[in-house]
């Protein structure tokens, strides 16, 4: 491939690994056009996935590209094809930690898992703040060196104040993702709207079974043989947002609701961690009320 | 244990492997009493499971007993403890094939699996008849030497006739279990009542999610990440009967409703086969709206 | 993309769905080049997967392309990029049934599953012949209308004759895939070599555990808590060929070797069916001693 | 049941929940005898499991019994039946935390999981000491308030000293279980012998596949489609001890050895936690080279 104006420097350019995600109306020539931009910047595709939704007619793509180019150079190379196919796209550095705000209540297992995985280098997020309406997580946050704020919520006014603080923290820390790690308050419609597409909740059932409160009690009463957990985007429609990941664990008639709850925590932590990891790696895209997950 | 009047014969008695299932109000001394009867007939317990339901206060037990005794001798030994604890019990020969009526519609996969497993000796049932409202299963039934009747159901009268034929066949063949192997008609409340506790259906979703018609279409629309199948007892409350077994299969955004249906058939067949096997082995007991499954 | 000499016809061309698989040394520009050929024939990519092996430095790709073009036109469009990157490629029609020879012994479950799935339209294979060294499968083959030959193998001469018949049948029916559906004879090194990369075996253990004979007996003795099945390519190194698919089933201490064998049959059938399906869909490529499976 | 000399007190006795495990040669009358002792102390069986091993001819039983009796009274009631059937038995309080010594090296995930689960009340163990040949676990141990000793092992002498310290700590803290939570040193035959039946290791593969060092590298090279973890008793025969629990996780060709290692950590932690939980609950019994696990 001949040299292009985008890589004029005679000095060997520094290599960057990029993640490019894009969405547009499906049609011919998109992949050829996008990969043309990759070739133009001397890039090497290290991972590539695509999906054409017959439901919405949209085309989704995620590329990892190792290139001796800057983001500006890559954007410039992409500009014509982006314009031609009316592509919405995001170009980012691979493995850049996502600025993540965690909301929690009393239960510690999901937060413990997220913080441990982050500290082990398996979960590419930065957590500038944990906000909780109980204080049980304070020691854990302290251990992992994550700022923690405890704001009790016992009435509508405190709830409004809590949510105001959420929005403030998002602005203050330039938050890209809000994770409800067993935060047991229902978000107001306004907050749901403000966080659309960037707020992940873990629900302690295999949705759409057992929406709402006390899903393990419901699962016990119904006598299910497997319990589950569901990570989904938060929408104003409670427990109805697009599903990102689900897991189940086999149980039997001997388990009490309390035991189901203990058993299920493992599925909850694992499922939330998986969803957050994929989101942080730009692998989760919205296709109407469904998600495209480029695992 | 000294010889008892129950085994008076000087000739060595023939050994039988029994299955004993029992239910009664929970209380002390039940196991001791029942195992006393086992000792009295010189029996050896080869499998034993029990469960005390905190929900209903009922005690459930299943024993396999190898004994040099007849059923009458064993019953006689059990009589005092049965009376003392007001036990409902069933004593049967282990591995006796259960007389099973299969109802089907167009889909062949579940029936194919049941008949193949039966012919392989893995599924202890006898199938004196398959009744279906379509004729697609006829060749399969023929191959396995199972009588097959095709009765179309296109209106209320034909449906009533179909159900009358079901009841007649039950009487005629002394049927112990009715299996709805993807029989796509809703049973009348009368038939549900008549078959209470001895009719198993396979529903092609992970209940309680996606009750009713077209569950794969519903699962697709909701964007679930695992699809499932549920074997349950039939009750008048559609898809709400006590669950016997459930399985799931991982799927992703690329699968169309039609593909989900094809993928799910494997879970359906496997789940139904498992539930029927356990039922035929007297491993499934009802505890209110839940099942006790002694796997 | 401007019109090309490859699609000169003013009449609307017939659409074909193609499957294109390719392998070459990894390097920049391959995807751009290949998708350029797709654009040239007016094709639409309906599925795309790729993998660059850090182990072997090879690049693998599988495309499904819906195009108003003939295979010749598509090949012509691909020719320059194929030459430039020294690509080995196969262009085929999507969903074309693969001509498949099944070898079997006494056990029927794997063959039953393959034939049932084929007849249901879920498994894109044609089976012009089943060869077996036992006759237990004859009725099943008859039911599904598949020619069946029984050739006993009780000594080296009969074994050589059996293998000669295999090679003859491959030539006679233009066989593309040989499936060992629980065929319990070890293939000669010569036959292994002749079938390299196009012969799939199902082994009844989770390889590399329990190679060789009686794996369920071995699994019982070792007290494993999950048993498994492995579908792999046949090589001269017994049970060491590249793995295509594996599944496990949970068991416990109560299961006898005989019960493990019965339980495991389900995993065997399912695993073999999955491997054959993927192979028939051109989703399985060899990367040294490992497989690339574009699921 | 009439009052017995064992419960003579007119004052209402305090209730205790006992766990009784027993092993003896199989034969008639054992369950009847044991449950007679339960009745004699006015006990109620809340959980009961049994297994007769056809391999060794041994009979295994585990009972949970809620009784208004002391351990001495229960032992006295058991004495005749224990003598008659030559039963080896252990009577303990249910949910009594097991005194557990953890050995570790550099990796923190397994220890983190054990300590978190213990602090959440899900894992009935007390950990008076963690001994490690690296210091990475020190902060974690500090956070959970568990004494931690770091003893480097870089040669045979240090290794001998480490093992001497293990034996000393066992005596000092009256240790009942030693857990190798990714302790990467091979125990000496002497230590293996000293810890027989009370030392659990987690191996990072699905044994018997990939014994020894670098199992993820081995798994990668072999191209397996599922990776696993195995918790087993330590014996002098490396990675050959009786298996307690195993789990697998699906992977594909895209995963590097390093990624397999990261993915597998979850299965390792979960599998070890499960095995330790069952052991601490007296659910794991040895039957020759196999385990009986009363889940």
- The reply to whether residue A122 touches residue D270, judged by beta carbons under 8 angstroms, is no
Contacts of C254 in chain B (CB under 8 A): 47
Question: Does D103 share its domain with D227?
Answer: yes
**Which CATH number does the domain housing residue D196 bear?**
3.40.50.170
A50: nearest CB among C36, C38, C48? C48
User: Which of D239, D252, D266, D287 is labelled catalytic?
Assistant: D239
Give the count of alpha carbons within 13 A of D275, CB side only.
Answer: 33
- The reply to whether residue B45 touches residue D31, judged by beta carbons under 8 angstroms, is yes
Question: Does C181 share its domain with C273?
Answer: yes
Give the model's confidence band at C11: pLDDT under 50 very low, under 70 low, under 90 confident, else very high.
low
Contacts of B36 in chain D (CB under 8 A): 32
Tokens representing C189? Answer: 């090194």
Peptide bond into B196 cis (omega under 30): no
Q: Please identify which residue in the block is written with the tokens 């506790």.
A: B197
B166 contacts B128 by C-beta, under 8 angstroms: no
Q: Is the pLDDT of residue B1 over 60?
A: no
- The reply to whether residue C54 touches residue D253, judged by beta carbons under 8 angstroms, is no
- The reply to whether residue C32 touches residue A38, judged by beta carbons under 8 angstroms, is yes
Residue B235 contacts by C-beta under 8 Å, 6 or more apart in sequence?
B192, B196, B241, B242
- The reply to whether residue B262 touches residue C139, judged by beta carbons under 8 angstroms, is no
Query: Strand C226-233 and strand C199-203: pairing?
Result: antiparallel
Give the model's confidence band at D55: pLDDT under 50 very low, under 70 low, under 90 confident, else very high.
confident
Contacts of C108 in chain B (CB under 8 A): 120
Alpha-carbon distance of A41 to D228, in angstroms, equals 41
Task: Write down which chains contact chain C via at least 3 CB pairs under 8 A.
Answer: A, B, D
Q: What is the pLDDT of residues B23-37, one digit of tens each?
A: 999 999 999 999 999
- Report the candidate in D84, D52, D29 with the shortest Cα–Cα distance to residue B67: D29
Contacts of A109 in chain D (CB under 8 A): 116, 120
B51-75 average pLDDT score? 95
Give the model's confidence band at A12: pLDDT under 50 very low, under 70 low, under 90 confident, else very high.
low
Give the model's confidence band at A55: pLDDT under 50 very low, under 70 low, under 90 confident, else very high.
confident
Higher local confidence (pLDDT), A1 or B169: B169
Q: What is the model's pLDDT at position D243?
A: 98
Residue A66's closest chain C neighbor by CA?
C28
D148 contacts D108 by C-beta, under 8 angstroms: no
Q: Is the pLDDT of residue C5 over 90?
A: no
Alpha-carbon distance of C164 to C182, in angstroms, equals 19
Residue C168 contacts by C-beta under 8 Å, 6 or more apart in sequence?
none
Q: What is the pLDDT of residues D147-200, one digit of tens each?
A: 999 999 999 999 999 999 999 999 999 999 999 999 999 999 999 999 999 999
- Secondary structure in 3-state letters for chain D: CCCCCCCCCCCCCCCEEEEEEEEEECCCCHHHHHHHHHHHCCCEEEEEEEEECCCCCEEEEEEEEEECCCHHHHHHHHHHHHHHCCCEEEEEECCCCEEEEEEECCCCHHHHHHHHHHHCCCCCEEEEEEEECCCCCHHHHHHCCCCEEECCCCCHHHHHHHHHHHHHHHHHHCCCEEEECCCCCCCCHHHHHHCCCCEEEEECCCCCCCCCCCHHHHHHHHCCCEEEEEEEECCCCCCCCCEEEEEEEECCCCCCHHHHHHHHHHHHHHHHHHHHHHHHCCCEEEECCEEEECC
Contacts of A221 in chain B (CB under 8 A): 289-290
Q: What is the model's pLDDT at position B55?
A: 86
- The reply to whether residue A39 touches residue C50, judged by beta carbons under 8 angstroms, is no
Q: Please identify which residue in the block is written with the tokens 């709805």.
A: B180
C195 Cα to chain A: minimum distance (Å): 32
Q: Is the pLDDT of residue C210 over 60?
A: yes
Question: Does A106 share its domain with A221?
Answer: yes
- The reply to whether residue B1 touches residue D42, judged by beta carbons under 8 angstroms, is no
Backbone angles phi and psi of D147, in degrees to 5: -55, 140
Alpha-carbon distance of C30 to A44, in angstroms, equals 10
Residue C75 contacts by C-beta under 8 Å, 6 or more apart in sequence?
C91
Where do runs of H (alpha helix) occur along chain C? 30-40, 71-85, 109-119, 138-143, 156-173, 189-194, 215-222, 257-280
Query: Strand D177-180 and strand D98-104: pairing?
Result: parallel
B108-117 average pLDDT score? 98
Give the model's confidence band at B7: pLDDT under 50 very low, under 70 low, under 90 confident, else very high.
very low
Domain hosting residue A201, numbered range: 98-293
Residue C36's closest chain A neighbor by CA?
A32
Alpha-carbon distance of D27 to D29, in angstroms, equals 7
A11: in domain: no
Contacts of A42 in chain C (CB under 8 A): 28
Contacts of A138 in chain D (CB under 8 A): none
B110 Cα to chain C: minimum distance (Å): 11
Q: What is the model's pLDDT at position D5?
A: 46
What domain count does chain A have?
A: 2
B39: nearest CB among D32, D38, D45? D32
Tokens representing C114? Answer: 């393959």
Q: What is the pLDDT of residues C249-269, one digit of tens each?
A: 999 999 999 999 999 999 999
A269: in domain: yes
B1: in domain: no
Residue B294's closest chain D neighbor by CA?
D49
Tokens representing B186? Answer: 């809703």
C142 contacts C115 by C-beta, under 8 angstroms: no
Q: What is the model's pLDDT at position B93?
A: 97
Q: How many CB pairs under 8 A join C and D?
A: 87
Interface test mutation site (partner D, options C53, C200, C206, max chain D beta carbons within 10 A) = C206
How would you label D11-24 residue by residue, b for 16+ Cβ within 10 Å and e otherwise?
eebeebbbbbbbbb
- The reply to whether residue D248 touches residue C248, judged by beta carbons under 8 angstroms, is yes
Question: Does B196 share its domain with B121?
Answer: yes
Alpha-carbon distance of C60 to C21, in angstroms, equals 8
User: Which of A135, A237, A239, A252 is labelled catalytic?
Assistant: A239
B40-53 average pLDDT score? 95
Q: Is the pLDDT of residue C6 over 70?
A: no
- Domain end position, chosen among D93, D121, D154: D93
List, by residue number, the catalytic residues of B.
Answer: 239
Question: Does C105 share its domain with C225?
Answer: yes
Its ipTM equals: 0.92
Residues in A lying within 8 Å of B, measured between beta carbons: 51, 53-54, 206-210, 221-226, 228, 242-248, 252-254, 256, 287, 289-293, 295
- The reply to whether residue C226 touches residue D242, judged by beta carbons under 8 angstroms, is no
C230 contacts C243 by C-beta, under 8 angstroms: yes
Q: What is the model's pLDDT at position C193?
A: 96
Q: Is the pLDDT of residue D98 over 70?
A: yes
Give the model's confidence band at B12: pLDDT under 50 very low, under 70 low, under 90 confident, else very high.
low
A8: in domain: no
- DSSP string for chain A: ----TTS--SSPPPPEEEEEEEEEE--TTHHHHHHHHHHHTT-EEEEEEEEE-TTT-EEEEEEEEEESS-HHHHHHHHHHHHHHHT-EEEEEETTPPEEEEEEE-S--HHHHHHHHHHHTT-S-EEEEEEEESSSTTHHHHHHHT--EEE----SHHHHHHHHHHHHHHHHHHT-SEEEESS--SPPPHHHHHHTTTSEEEEESS-TTSS-SS-HHHHHHHHT-SEEEEEEEE--SSTT-SPEEEEEEEE--TT--HHHHHHHHHHHHHHHHHHHHHHHHTT-EEEETTEEEE--
Tokens representing D70? Answer: 């002391």
Question: Does C215 share its domain with C253?
Answer: yes
Residue A250's closest chain C neighbor by CA?
C250
Contacts of C32 in chain A (CB under 8 A): 32, 35-36, 38-39
| Mean pLDDT computed over every residue of chain C | 94
C223: nearest CB among D210, D243, D254? D243
User: Which of C92, C237, C239, C266 is labelled catalytic?
Assistant: C239
**CA C173: distance to chain centroid?**
17
- The reply to whether residue B31 touches residue D31, judged by beta carbons under 8 angstroms, is yes
**Which CATH number does the domain housing residue B39 bear?**
3.30.70.260
C5 Cα to chain D: minimum distance (Å): 39
- Secondary structure in 3-state letters for D231-269: EEECCCCCCCCCEEEEEEEECCCCCCHHHHHHHHHHHHH
Question: Does B221 share its domain with B139?
Answer: yes
- Domain end position, chosen among D78, D93, D108: D93
| Mean pLDDT computed over every residue of chain B | 94
- The reply to whether residue A208 touches residue B210, judged by beta carbons under 8 angstroms, is yes
Residues in B lying within 8 Å of A, measured between beta carbons: 51, 53-54, 206-210, 221-226, 228, 242-248, 252-254, 256, 287, 289-293, 295
Q: What is the SS3 assignment for C179?
A: strand
B69: in domain: yes
C8: in domain: no
Question: Does A173 share its domain with A221?
Answer: yes
A88: in domain: yes
B39-53 average pLDDT score? 95
- Report the candidate in C159, C161, C100 with the shortest Cα–Cα distance to residue C129: C100
Residue A45's closest chain C neighbor by CA?
C28
D22 contacts D61 by C-beta, under 8 angstroms: yes
- The reply to whether residue D28 touches residue B49, judged by beta carbons under 8 angstroms, is no
Tokens representing D26? Answer: 């199989």
Residue positions counted in chain D? 295
Question: Does D131 share its domain with D166?
Answer: yes
Question: Does B80 share its domain with B212?
Answer: no
- Domain end position, chosen among B31, B66, B93: B93
Contacts of A252 in chain B (CB under 8 A): 293, 295
* Rg of chain B taking only CA atoms, in angstroms: 21
Q: Is the pLDDT of residue D2 over 90?
A: no
Give the model's confidence band at D280: pLDDT under 50 very low, under 70 low, under 90 confident, else very high.
very high
Peptide bond into B208 cis (omega under 30): yes
Q: Is the pLDDT of residue B11 over 90?
A: no
* Rg of chain D taking only CA atoms, in angstroms: 21
Alpha-carbon distance of B1 to A238, in angstroms, equals 64
Residue C129 contacts by C-beta under 8 Å, 6 or more apart in sequence?
C101, C102, C146, C147, C148, C149, C169, C173
Question: Does D89 share its domain with D128?
Answer: no
Question: Does C279 share its domain with C138?
Answer: yes
Give the count of alpha carbons within 13 A of B67, CB side only.
Answer: 31
B243: nearest CB among A224, A248, A289? A224
Share of chain C above pLDDT 70, in %: 96
Lowest-pLDDT choice from A60-69, B111-120, B197-206, D12-21: D12-21
A290 Cα to chain B: minimum distance (Å): 5
Interface test mutation site (partner A, options B58, B60, B205, B208, max chain A beta carbons within 10 A) = B208
Contacts of D265 in chain A (CB under 8 A): 122
Q: What is the pLDDT of residues A82-136, one digit of tens each?
A: 999 999 999 999 999 999 999 999 999 999 999 999 999 999 999 999 999 999 9
C285: in domain: yes
């Amino acid at each position: 491939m001949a040299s292009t104006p985008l890589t004029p420097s005679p000095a060997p350019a520094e290599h960057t690994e990029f993640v490019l995600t894009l969405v547009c109306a499906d049609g011919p020539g998109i992949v050829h056009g996008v990969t043309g931009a990759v070739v133009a910047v001397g890039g090497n595709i290290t991972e590539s996935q695509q999906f054409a939704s017959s439901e919405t007619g949209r085309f989704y793509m995620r590329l990892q590209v190792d290139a001796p180019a800057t983001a500006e150079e890559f954007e410039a190379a992409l500009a014509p094809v982006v314009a031609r196919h009316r592509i919405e796209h995001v170009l980012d550095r691979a493995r850049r930690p996502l600025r993540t705000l965690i909301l929690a209540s009393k239960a510690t297992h999901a937060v413990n898992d997220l913080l441990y995985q982050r500290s082990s280098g398996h979960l590419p997020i930065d957590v500038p703040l944990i906000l909780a309406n109980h204080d049980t997580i304070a020691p854990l946050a302290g251990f992992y060196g994550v700022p923690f704020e405890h704001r009790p919520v016992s009435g509508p006014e405190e709830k409004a104040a809590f949510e105001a603080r959420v929005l403030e923290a998002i602005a203050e820390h330039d938050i890209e993702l809000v994770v409800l790690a067993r935060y047991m308050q229902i978000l107001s419609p306004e907050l749901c709207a403000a966080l659309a597409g960037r707020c992940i909740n873990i629900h302690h059932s295999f949705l759409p079974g057992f929406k709402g409160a006390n899903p393990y009690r419901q699962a016990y009463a119904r006598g299910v043989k497997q319990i589950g957990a569901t990570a989904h985007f938060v929408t104003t429609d409670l427990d109805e947002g697009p599903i990102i990941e689900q897991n189940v664990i086999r149980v039997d008639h001997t388990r009490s609701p309390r035991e189901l709850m203990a058993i299920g925590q493992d599925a909850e932590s694992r499922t939330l961690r998986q969803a957050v990891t994929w989101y942080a790696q730009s692998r989760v895209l919205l296709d109407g009320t469904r998600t495209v997950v480029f695992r």
